[in-house]
Amino acid sequence: MAPVRDKAGRPVVVVTGMGIVTSLGTGIEENWTKLVGGQSGISSVKRFSTEAMRTRIAGSIDFVPVAPFSAPALTERLGEIAGEEAVAQARIGSPGRFPGPLFLAVPPIEVEWDQRTELAAASGANDEVHYEDLLRATAAGQFFNHYDRFVFGSIGTHLAEKFGTQGMPISLTTACASGATAIQLGVEAIRRGETDAALCIAADGTVNPENLIRFSLLSALSTANDPPEAAAKPFAKNRDGFVMAEGAGAVVLESYEAARARGAPILGVVEGFGELADSFHRTRTSPDGRPIIVCMRNAIADAGLTPDDIDYINAHGTGTPENDKMECLGVTTVFGDRAKEVPITSNKSMVGHTITAAGAVEAIFTLLALINQRLPPTINYEVPDPAIPLDVVPNVARDAKLRHALSNSFGFGGQNVSVVVGLEPT
């Protein structure tokens, strides 16, 4: 039997349940089949008018009905779907009672234009409307449903209730690294001995006009609208930005000891985490790449491994000119001569960038690669970039012998998190 404590004497943390929903579809099976099939979930935006916009595509999820529609409502529903799948697979707790805390990565919540115009109409202001009018209408009216929907803790409160998790739910954001941070907090809680289990969910359903325009104004998005499925081109020389997307990933984490004692399915081991914030710039990486280099090294060291032990890298790989160049610099520095031999793929080429959910979605895809001993491809790789001499598993999936893998998540605000996952020791 493999030891239940790691080399540092901490409880080994395993994954006993996974759930996912992306623009490719709902559930582990559908997502994995399409992912290794090289399918794209990116499409022209139909949810709202994209007139006048430079970017008119996204990996939005239009097959999950939500009413009344809002970004937090869709985000919550996506998180719920992923969470249900993970909890069911883990066969843990009882309906409405999960025996551990909830760590939830969610986008910051904002009141939307529908609510502002509703308030404006209620205010009776008939020429120019000002926030003073909205505030007056707010104070005079009954809008508890809006409070319940748009207060920052809203999604966490609802999902904690739905799953019956224990204690205060933690809602968090570390931008594009949020999903990884949610899992990291769960791992740390189990390592501290605070709990034997944790439910970690990351969800994002925020494709709306304002967010598309915000990222567009930062020059972060691909404008290759036609055909949509060819827009996301991580590591290719003609990459021109990321494609905004929606999705959710959820994992049930348990101490190896507790999971084995109850005969739970052991899907994999979360072996180590690394992080280091970047103090260089709000949206750009330090030119020397030090933060992401140290972040990856910290994760590998925390797992008690060396770079030679890593068989596969699931890249942050957004497809922006800057990210992919800097990630390549980081990987080349950490892996040295081996860098060209370690396959590195970006599933953002297929599902787009699920922002808040990405870290969890990608940790799950990474584990699925280990479980299936198969590397999902990086699609839309037609024009190699000589500045990125890496094996990106271009366009077609392939089998591989995999034991440990690294997944990177980097975000605005200098957020960097890397996670190492592995298979259960035999």
Partner 1 sequence: MADTARETWITGIGIMSCLGEGPDAHWRGLNECNPNYDATTFTPYVVHPMAPINLDAQIPKKGDQRQMEPWQRYGTYAAGLALDSAGVKGNKEVLDHMDMIVAAGGGERDSVVDDAIVTGLLKTDDKGRFLNERLLSDLRPTLFLAQLSNLLAGSISIVHGVIGSSRTFMGEEASGVEAVRIAYARIAAGQSDIALVGGSMNAERRDLLMVYGFGGYPLKDDFRPVWERTSESGFALGSLAAFLVLEERGHAERRGAKPLARLATVKSEWAKREPGGIDAALGRLWDALPADAATNAAVISGASGAAPATAEEGEFLAGRGLPVRATGSQIGHALEPQFAMNIALAALAVGRGKLFAPCDGSGFETPSDEALDRAIVTAVGHFRGEGLALVEAVR
Q: Of these, 15, 74, 170, 264, which contacts partner 1 (CB under 8 A)?
A: 170
- Is 355 one of the binding residues for partner 1 (CB under 8 A)? no
Task: Fill in the per-residue mask, 297 to 316: x = in contact with partner 1 (CB under 8 A), - = not in contact.
Answer: --------------------
Residues 240-269 that bind partner 1 (CB under 8 A): none
- Is 173 one of the binding residues for partner 1 (CB under 8 A)? yes
Q: Of these, 169, 268, 330, 343, which contacts partner 1 (CB under 8 A)?
A: 169
For residues 232 and 38, the answer to whether their CB atoms sit within 8 Å is no
- Is 186 one of the binding residues for partner 1 (CB under 8 A)? no
- Is 132 one of the binding residues for partner 1 (CB under 8 A)? yes
- Is 122 one of the binding residues for partner 1 (CB under 8 A)? no
Task: Fill in the per-residue mask, 138 to 167: x = in contact with partner 1 (CB under 8 A), - = not in contact.
Answer: xx---xx-xxx-xxxx--xx--x------x
What span, in angstroms and rounded, lies between the C-alpha atoms of 222 and 134? 36
- Is 136 one of the binding residues for partner 1 (CB under 8 A)? yes
For residues 408 and 342, the answer to whether their CB atoms sit within 8 Å is no
Angle at which helices 178-191 and 358-372 cross, to 10°: 70
**Is-catalytic flag, 176?**
yes
For residues 167 and 186, the answer to whether their CB atoms sit within 8 Å is no
**Is-catalytic flag, 200?**
no
Residue 179: CB partners within 8 Å, gap ≥ 6?
A: 105, 202, 249, 354, 356, 357, 358, 359, 360, 361, 362, 363, 409
Q: Of these, 181, 222, 323, 366, which contacts partner 1 (CB under 8 A)?
A: 181
> How many angstroms separate the first and last alpha carbons of the chain?
7
- Is 275 one of the binding residues for partner 1 (CB under 8 A)? yes
- Is 280 one of the binding residues for partner 1 (CB under 8 A)? yes
Active-site pick, 176, 200, 295, 328: 176
- Is 213 one of the binding residues for partner 1 (CB under 8 A)? yes
Active-site pick, 146, 158, 316, 404: 316
What span, in angstroms and rounded, lies between the C-alpha atoms of 196 and 199? 11
Closest CA to 377 of 268, 202, 235, 185: 235
| Cis peptide upstream of residue 227 (ω within 30 degrees of 0) | yes
**Is-catalytic flag, 316?**
yes
Q: For partner 1, which is the closer residue by CB, 88 or 121?
A: 121
